[in-house]
Chain A
Amino acid sequence: MEQQQGEHHEHEHHLHLPHGPSEPTHHEEHIVSPKVYLIIGTCLLILTATTTAVSYIELGAFNAVVAILIACIKMTLVILFFMHVKYSSGLTKLTVAAGFFTFIVLITMTMTDYMSRAWGRW
């Protein structure tokens, strides 16, 4: 809102008022170094090998827990580093977080409903 109100003013003084990175909508871009990508890629491959290896060990119900936990770690690494969210603006971080939060709420509520309806029969 403030942005829109200030727009007319900003246009008139376009040449005199260059906008610095301090503006809330401006985010300094960060170039991630290839070394970081290489480390993250290697970690992801190691985790893939781990999750496959663990699936051959009998852990009962924990086979699923471990596999999904490792998948969540891998997802976090991809989002933070490959998708640059770690280096992104607050807006992007909030968007991603809000999306995942909504998704988790939807899944949890649906699963809670299904599990409680068949209570004791699973």
Chain B
Amino acid sequence: MDSQTLAAQTAETGHIGHGEHPPYLRHHFENAPQQREAATFGMWLFLLTEIMFFGGLFCAYLIFRNWYYPAFVAGSHTLHIWAGTLNTTLLIISSFTMAMAVHAAETRMRKAIMGWMIVTIILGCGFLCVKAYEWHDEWVDHHVPGLNFSPESFLHGSKAYPDDKLSLDMAEKTQLYYSLYFAMTGMHALHMIIGVSLLTILLIQVYGGKYVNGHVAPIENFGLYWHFVDIVWIFLFPLLYLISRHQ
């Protein structure tokens, strides 16, 4: 742009290039929809790297489950199915409330955004509390490999599953199940903690009047992240809790 054009434009619109676009539009984008599209594209690329990351853990789980099948079945039998179901329910409802928060941002309703965000934060924290309760149980039962583990409970069968009598060698292999269990649920919980923290920051920003002028990309992209974390749990739940019930 030469100086003449610049001067003409400045005279016409008051200042350079700001005449007819919203304040949140960066200058390297043509218009707001293009900026939003680019943000969505970038967010999805990030989520794809996350899929590969969790995918590696899922793959390891499937392979080792085939190798040490009895150990993985016995390990899975020690989890509380009610806790897994409750957590799945909490996460699905939180995904719904997050979708509603994005909708409220799109329709520019500040109070509604904040309300749905607060409900989402509460549900996310509820999930983490149930998870913490489960981890505490596993600690008490000596099922934490490396820190507090004993194969004892797998040698004689449990009350619910009297047939779970493993040889000492196979009972030791349940550590592999618990290692993957803690790695996967731990990484998932870390994502939840990051999610709740980011959501709290967004909530404070919305309280301060941000994102209510049609600038929904940050909230929408956070929504994508939150739903992704939900999807990871949608697969963790059957793989860790459900598929070994009857084996």
Q: A41-B96, A45-B89, A92-B40 are in contact. Are A64 and B243 (CB under 8 A)?
A: yes
Among B36, B37, B59, which residue has its beta carbon within 8 angstroms of that of A110?
A: B59
B59 with A111: CB separation less than 8 A: yes
Question: Is chain B's interface secondary structure helix, strand, loop, or mixed overall?
Answer: helix
The smallest C-beta distance from A47 to any residue of chain B, in angstroms, reads 9
A48 with B44: CB separation less than 8 A: no
Q: A67-B243, A82-B95, A110-B59 are in contact. Are A34 and B103 (CB under 8 A)?
A: yes
A99 with B234: CB separation less than 8 A: no
Residues of A with C-beta under 8 A to B227: 78-79, 82-83
Residues of B with C-beta under 8 A to A56: 245
The CA of A19 and the CA of B35, in the complex, are separated in Å by 14
| A38 within 8 A of partner (CB) | yes
B81 with A52: CB separation less than 8 A: yes
Convert A1-45 into 0s and 1s, putting 1 for each residue whose CB lies closer than 8 angstroms to a CB of B.
Answer: 000000000111011000101010111110111100110110011
| B230 within 8 A of partner (CB) | yes
Residues of B with C-beta under 8 A to A115: 66
| B106 within 8 A of partner (CB) | yes
A27 with B33: CB separation less than 8 A: yes
B231 with A75: CB separation less than 8 A: yes
| B51 within 8 A of partner (CB) | yes
A91 with B95: CB separation less than 8 A: no
Question: Is chain A's interface secondary structure helix, strand, loop, or mixed overall?
Answer: helix
The smallest C-beta distance from A11 to any residue of chain B, in angstroms, reads 6
Convert B227-247 into 0s and 1s, putting 1 for each residue whose CB lies closer than 8 angstroms to a CB of A.
Answer: 110110011011101110111
| A119 within 8 A of partner (CB) | no
Convert B17-40 into 0s and 1s, putting 1 for each residue whose CB lies closer than 8 angstroms to a CB of A.
Answer: 100000000000011011011001
**What is the total number of residues of chain A having a CB less than 8 Å from a CB of chain B?**
63
B100 with A75: CB separation less than 8 A: no
Q: A12-B5, A41-B92 are in contact. Are A99 and B37 (CB under 8 A)?
A: no
Residues of B with C-beta under 8 A to A114: 63, 66
Among B37, B89, B238, which residue has its beta carbon within 8 angstroms of that of A67?
A: B238
| B204 within 8 A of partner (CB) | no
A78 with B48: CB separation less than 8 A: no
| B167 within 8 A of partner (CB) | no
Minimum CB distance partner of A41 in chain B: B96
The CA of A52 and the CA of B82, in the complex, are separated in Å by 9
A79 with B242: CB separation less than 8 A: no
The CA of A31 and the CA of B51, in the complex, are separated in Å by 26
Convert A111-122 into 0s and 1s, putting 1 for each residue whose CB lies closer than 8 angstroms to a CB of B.
Answer: 100110000001
The CA of A34 and the CA of B116, in the complex, are separated in Å by 12
Residues of A with C-beta under 8 A to B12: 15
Residues of A with C-beta under 8 A to B55: 103, 106-107
Which residues of chain A from 63 to 122 have any CB-CB distance to chain B below 8 Å in the complex? 63-64, 67-68, 70-71, 74-75, 78-79, 81-84, 88-89, 91-92, 95-96, 99-100, 102-103, 106-107, 110-111, 114-115, 122
A19 with B31: CB separation less than 8 A: yes
Convert B78-111 into 0s and 1s, putting 1 for each residue whose CB lies closer than 8 angstroms to a CB of A.
Answer: 0001000100110011011011100100110000
Interchain Cβ contacts under 8 Å between A and B, 21 examples: A12-B5, A19-B30, A29-B106, A38-B96, A48-B89, A52-B242, A55-B245, A63-B245, A68-B235, A78-B95, A78-B230, A79-B231, A82-B99, A95-B44, A95-B45, A96-B48, A99-B48, A103-B51, A103-B52, A106-B52, A114-B63
